[in-house]
Structure 1
């Protein structure tokens, strides 16, 4: 039996379709609640740099689970926008270490409550236990981090 066009229930048996639709919902909520200028990946980078100032670009890419060209573009954009600063790594002259700028710290503090609101809106139909279980199950779909 063919799948009816525009029938979201027909695709509900496919995990990938559900993940894609959930991601689309996340992006829509992010744009309305958080920022059209700072993406969720950029926000995650700000959080990582707040927790571990001075990590190098490769380590940040590993933490964000993005490839080398993506992290290079992301860092360049964030440097251009004044959110982070990039300096030579004193231990490896071929590498850069990254720090939040004063504006990056300010943006992180401003955005954090909005990001928490995205989480609340996105999981409003779930109990706290179901939210934890959803995060556990989604994490199980990802390859283990080395």
Structure 2
């Protein structure tokens, strides 16, 4: 609980400082509430593959907004851990398409309520209108999606 003097502190001068601190808080809450083994990016990949099974590695990387080497490492790790599987792309034999495994679907179902709890913890002090405004403003910081 913050004291009155803490609430009276001036806001940091740079937005990046607040974004970094918010991300650090998210990471700490994630580790305590969700998983020390599945990262938030891996969870996002599970959600994306649940929503759109059979996407290419490139499409998944675009969806998660990560570069080619990062998505390659992420997919390789998730395949090794039995969460997703690769199959030959029926359209482009040089590419793979990705699907959740049964274990990946089970992991997603287990983690989803925990991720929702992270959301509740992080936004507990915000009204619904403030939460909507925060999401709009954070989205405005990101480059437009192609």
Please confirm whether the aligned pair reaches a TM-score higher than 0.5, indicating the same fold: yes
Take 2:69 and 2:80, find their aligned partners in 1: how far apart are those partners? 16
Q: Residue 53 of structure 1: CA displacement?
A: 0.3
Q: Residue 109 of structure 1: CA displacement?
A: 0.4
- Give RMSD over aligned pairs: 1.0
Instruction: Give SS of 2:93's match.
Output: strand
Q: 2:3 corresponds to which residue?
A: none
Q: 1:31 corresponds to which residue?
A: 31
Q: Residue 24 of structure 1: CA displacement?
A: 0.2
Instruction: Give SS of 1:38's match.
Output: coil
1:96 equivalent to 2:96? Answer yes
Size of the aligned set, in residue pairs, is: 138
Q: 2:106 corresponds to which residue?
A: 106
Instruction: Give SS of 2:97's match.
Output: strand
Q: 5+ unaligned residues in a row in structure 1: which ranges? A: 1-8
Q: Residue 93 of structure 1: CA displacement?
A: 1.2
Instruction: Give SS of 1:93's match.
Output: coil
Query: Runs in 1 of length 4+ with deviation above 2 angstroms?
Result: none
Q: 2:40 corresponds to which residue?
A: 40
TM-score by length of 2: 0.92
Q: Residue 10 of structure 1: CA displacement?
A: 6.5
Aligned 8 A contact 1:11 1:17 in 2: no
